[in-house]
Amino acid sequence: MPPSPRRIAALGECMVELCRRPDGLLSMGFGGDTLNTAIYMARLGVPVDYVTALGDDPTSDEMQASWEAEGIGTGHVLRVRGRLPGLYMIETDAAGERRFLYWRDQAPARDLFALPGTPALEAALEGYDLLYLSGISLAIWGEAGRARFFALAERLRRRGGRIAFDTNWRPRLWPDRETARRAYDEMFRHTDIALPGVCDLRELYDDADEAAVLARLRGFRIPEIVLKREDPGCILCSEDGDVVVPAERVETVVDTTAAGDSFSAGYLAARLQDKSPLEAARAAHRLAAQVIQHRGAIIPREAMHSLAPL
């Protein structure tokens, strides 16, 4: 069955999250950048599917059920016999700084484009209105997986679909900087809506400043760029011209986890609901401002009553 009109698929990895509590015990949750974005888009009234690969274990069952409880479609989640999802642990030091420890090398999400179910998945994804992924998605798929995704993106865009990309640069996931640069360059050539961060691209490309980052992005002729600045706010570059859109003022920032993920969700949800790029950027800032006033990546549903639907 073809996807519903205006449907979006978010591609990436969700991991098991262990967080050490003050009493020394560990609490378990689930986390992932593209999943965070998918959850917020679903809460904003946009039909969204999450596309990844999981194991056949009870934790994978629980993970998938939690997405469905948020209204996210899971019809294109591939399940791999005998495999387990990736895991990470958060440790917080006395100064409040967080450290992340990862166990993800054998996670099935890394093989999303190398599984028996991959050809059928690719055929289904070609019919979507928009595919969304991040730099973390690119990193975990490896060279062969990225090549298959780029071929899929080419076919989808020829049919009128679009690709949205959030840079989310994580050096530890790449074998070297040159490999990452080649992958990002190719990704930008396939991108219709770019959601990059100035900090990401300055570090990846050694660009001198914000102007250099923006000049680089313009070179790829991306139709729509929403550049997240180091100071709160973004630069919006679209067919309507360039405009600086300031962030919402927040008196007390509690936790910046998922600020960028929620920003992407707010922007894409608004655009998929026919808002202008400027209206979408303002909606993105409103959602991100709400998120950073709560602890954790996913805020309580009741905290979004004033935001959803758009």
**Does residue 34 contact residue 135 with C-beta atoms inside 8 Å?**
no
Dist CA 40 CA 18 (whole Å): 22
Q: Where are the domains of the chain?
A: 8-299
Percentage of the chain beyond pLDDT 70 is 93
Name the average pLDDT for the chain: 90
241 φ, ψ (degrees, to nearest 5):
105, -170
Q: Give the pLDDT confidence of 159-212 residue by residue, as tens digits.
A: 999 999 999 999 999 999 999 999 999 999 999 999 999 999 999 999 999 999
pLDDT band for position 94 (cuts 50, 70, 90): low
Q: Which of 206, 209, 261, 274 is catalytic?
A: 261
Cα dihedral sign for 226, 282, 284, 126? negative
Provide the pairing of β-strand 193-195 with 8-11: unpaired
What is the model's pLDDT at position 305? 65
Across 278-289, average pLDDT: 92
Handedness of CA 38, 199, 259, 20 (dihedral sign): positive
**pLDDT of the residue at 257:** 72
| DSSP state, residue 248 | P
Please tell me the CATH superfamily of domain 8-299, with its number.
Ribokinase (3.40.1190.20)
Q: Which of 175-179, 285-289, 300-304, 306-310 has the lowest mean pLDDT?
A: 306-310
Say yes or no to pLDDT of 309 above 60: no
Confidence of residue 253 (pLDDT cuts 50, 70, 90): confident
Q: Looking at residue 35, what is its pLDDT?
A: 95
Does the annotation mark 111 as catalytic?
no
Tell me the per-residue pLDDT of 106-149, one tens digit each, with 9 for 90 and over: 899 999 999 999 999 999 999 999 999 999 999 999 999 999 99
Short-list 129, 74, 136, CA closest to 110: 136
Mean pLDDT on 71-99: 83
Mean pLDDT of 275-302: 86
Write out the H or E segment, with its range, that includes residue 41: helix 33-43
Left if phi > 0, otherwise alpha if psi is -120 to 50, otherwise beta: which for 269? alpha
**pTM (two decimals):** 0.92
How big is the CA angle at 7 (ends 6 and 8), to the nearest 5 degrees?
A: 120
Helix (H, G, I), strand (E, B) or coil at 72: coil
**What is the per-residue pLDDT across 262-277, written as a single tens digit (0 to 9) for each?**
999 999 999 999 999 9
- pLDDT over 90, % of the chain: 70
Tokens coding 228: 């997240």
Helix (H) or strand (E) holding 38: helix 33-43
User: Can you list the alpha helix ranges (DSSP code H) found in 44-191?
Assistant: 58-69, 118-125, 135-158, 177-189
pLDDT at residue 170 in the model? 93
Q: What's the mean pLDDT in 221-225?
A: 97
Residue 304 has pLDDT above 80, yes or no: no
